[in-house]
């Protein structure tokens, strides 16, 4: 992975975990397509709204990077997400994959996959 891509990944996940929406927005194209495993958000405002909804549902939702793989202009980030659901107190503990498409130092798309294997397969096809 290029140093620029590795730095982008580090900065993006650190910004999310700090809930630094300005830093996160600066790493994304204004028209980003942000597809989670359950919904799709469009644009920086859509991503910011998604983060707000996450924080309404969960306490301390954090994402840990486990592995990154380069695939041309895409970066596969295999992650461990963990949080506690507000209200029920149930723990959320998932290992999923994010495939980011980067252009000119900004993300134009993020597609989440329910497993690490599915994220890897998405860029192998």
- Residue 5: pLDDT over 90: no
Q: Identify the band that residue 1 occupies on the pLDDT scale cut at 50, 70 and 90.
A: low
**Model-level pTM?**
0.92
CA distance linking residue 105 with residue 16, whole number of Å:
17
CA distance linking residue 39 with residue 99, whole number of Å:
15
CA distance linking residue 25 with residue 63, whole number of Å:
17
For the domain that residue 31 is a member of, what is the CATH number?
A: 3.10.450.50
Question: Count of domains in the chain?
Answer: 1
Q: Which domain holds residue 23?
A: 3-124
> Residue 101: helix, strand or coil by DSSP?
strand
What pLDDT score was predicted for residue 122? 94
């Amino acid at each position: 992975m290029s140093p620029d891509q590795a730095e982008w990944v580090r900065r993006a996940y650190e910004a999310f975990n700090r809930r630094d929406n300005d830093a996160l927005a600066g790493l994304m194209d204004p028209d980003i397509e942000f597809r989670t495993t359950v919904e799709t958000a469009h644009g920086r405002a859509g991503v910011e709204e998604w983060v707000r909804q996450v924080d309404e549902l969960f306490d301390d939702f954090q994402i840990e990077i486990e592995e990154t793989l380069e695939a041309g202009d895409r970066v596969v980030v295999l992650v461990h997400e963990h949080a506690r659901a507000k209200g029920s107190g149930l723990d959320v503990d998932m290992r999923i994959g994010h495939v980011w498409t980067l252009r000119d130092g900004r993300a134009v798309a993020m597609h989440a996959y329910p497993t690490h294997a599915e994220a890897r397969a998405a860029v192998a096809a």
